[in-house]
Amino acid sequence: MSLTMIPQGAPYGVATGPDGALWFTLVHQGMVGRLVPGEEPVVHRLDPADGGPTVITPGADGAMWFTEFQGGRVSRITETGEVTSFAVGAPYGIAAGPDGAMWFTQLQADRVGRIAGDGTVTDFEVPLKGGMPSALTAGPDDAMWFTLNQGDAIGRVALDGEMTIHRLPTPGAAPVGITAGPDGALWFVEIGAGQIGRITVAGEVTEFPLPDRACRPHAIVSGPDGALWFTEWAADRLGRITLEGKVDEHDLPSPSPSPSSASSDSSVSSSSAPSHSSESSTSSDASASSVSSASLESSSSSESSAPSGSSTTSSEGTGGQAGQAGAGPDAGTARAEPHGLTVGPDGAIWVALEAGALARVEIS
C-alpha cells in the first residue's frame, strides 16, 4: 500500500478518467485534481470555489463530471481544466447512463435528474418523500439504480423516468454507495447497519453483516478481481467482499497532518460534503442546508449536512444497528477518513482519504 499526498486539500471523490488519469475532488478547497500515477498531482480551482465538489465520474463525452452539493451545480471539466456548470438542486451522486446522458441525484429535493448532451436538464420525482436519494449507478438492465439513504430503500429509474422502489429488510440500513457487480446484480453499502447489500434487477435483496457493524461503510466499487471493494469510513479501513459474502479488511494509513479540518472530527468543523444518516431525521436541520465532510457518514444538528449514516462525531461514527462502542480508531488519533474509491488505470484500488492523500492498494 502506498500514499500519494495531496497537499492542496482533502480528497473526497475519486474516479479514473478516459485519459488514463485519476481525477479527484477537494471538497473543502473547491478544487478538482488530476493525477497520473507516478507524477505530481495537478489541481484546478473552481470559480466560484465554495461549491463543495463531491462525487466525480467519467462521462460518455470524454470529460469528467462532478457534483457540487453546496453550490447546487453539476459540472463538467475537460482534461485542460475547462469547466461548464449546470444549476440544479443539491446534487450528490452522479453517473453516466446507458443513453449517453449524465444522471444525478438531488438528495434534498426527492428527485433524480438527467442532463442530455445538449445541456437539457430533466427532473424525475422520487415517490418516496424524504428518502434522500444519494448515490446512483447504471444497472445491467438499461436503467439507473440509486440508494435512498433516509428511506432505507433502493430505487430504480427507467430511462423514461418510471420509478420503482425496493424497501430494504433492515430498519436503519441507511444505504449510500452503490455499484453494478460482476454477477449482474447491484451491490450497495448500508452505513447505518454495517452491512453490504445485494439486489437483483428483480428486486431480491441479500444482506451481508460486516465483522465490525460500526465501521460505517461509505462507497463501493466492482474490482477487477471479481470482488467488490468498499470503504469503512469510521474504521479507516478498506474492505473486500466476494460474491459469496466472504469479507477481508485492510487498515488504511493516516496522512499527517490532516488538512481537512482543525481537528480529527471534520464533521463538526466543516460544511461542504453531504452527510448520510440513519438518525438525521431526529435533527430538525440535519439534511436541510450545508453538507459535512463526514458526509454520508455522520449527521447531527451541529453538522447540518446531506446524506449521512448518523452519529455525533467522526470518532464516534455510529448509528442505526452500528452503534457498538469502541468502533473505529481511538478518539484523538489521526484519521484517514476514506470516502470514494475507484479502480485505477494501473489496476489497483485507489481510495480518497479526506485526511489529505490518495491511497493505492494493489490487488494480490
The predicted-structure confidence for 132-157, as pLDDT tens digits, reads as follows 999 999 999 999 999 999 999 999 99
Task: DSSP letter for 266, please.
Answer: H
Q: Is 279 annotated as a binding residue?
A: no
Torsion, Cα 316 318 323 329, to 10 degrees, reads -40
Q: Is 218 annotated as a binding residue?
A: yes
Query: In whole angstroms, what is the distance from residue 280 CA to residue 320 CA?
Result: 10
Q: Is 354 annotated as a binding residue?
A: yes
Percent of the chain with pLDDT over 70: 79
Query: In whole angstroms, what is the distance from residue 111 CA to residue 338 CA?
Result: 27
Instruction: Tell me the pTM.
Output: 0.85
Torsion, Cα 33 55 347 182, to 10 degrees, reads -170
User: Is residue 327 scored above 80 in pLDDT?
Assistant: no
AA identity, residue 69: F
Q: Please give the helix or strand (H or E) that residue 349 lies within, else none.
A: strand 349-353
Residue 270 binned pLDDT confidence (cut-offs 50, 70, 90) = very low
Quick one: cell of 27? 471538497
* SS3 call for 68: strand
The predicted structure's pLDDT at residue 207? 99
Q: Return the minimum-mean-pLDDT range out of 4-13, 98-107, 327-336.
A: 327-336
* Active-site annotation holder among 28, 44, 276, 339: 339
User: Is residue 131 scored above 60 in pLDDT?
Assistant: yes
Query: In whole angstroms, what is the distance from residue 167 CA to residue 147 CA?
Result: 10
Rounded to 5°, angle at Cα 48 from 46 and 54: 60
- 334 vs 357: which has the higher pLDDT: 357
* pLDDT tens by residue, 2-20: 999 999 999 999 999 999 9
| 339 is an active site residue | yes
The mean per-residue pLDDT over the stretch 170-192 comes to 99
Ordered domains of the chain (ranges, CATH): 2-255+333-361 (2.130.10.10)
Smallest CA-to-CA distance from 74 within 61, 85, 62 is with 85
Percent of the chain with pLDDT over 90: 76
* SS3 call for 117: coil
Rounded to 5°, angle at Cα 236 from 69 and 321: 80
The mean per-residue pLDDT over the stretch 185-203 comes to 99
The predicted structure's pLDDT at residue 332? 60
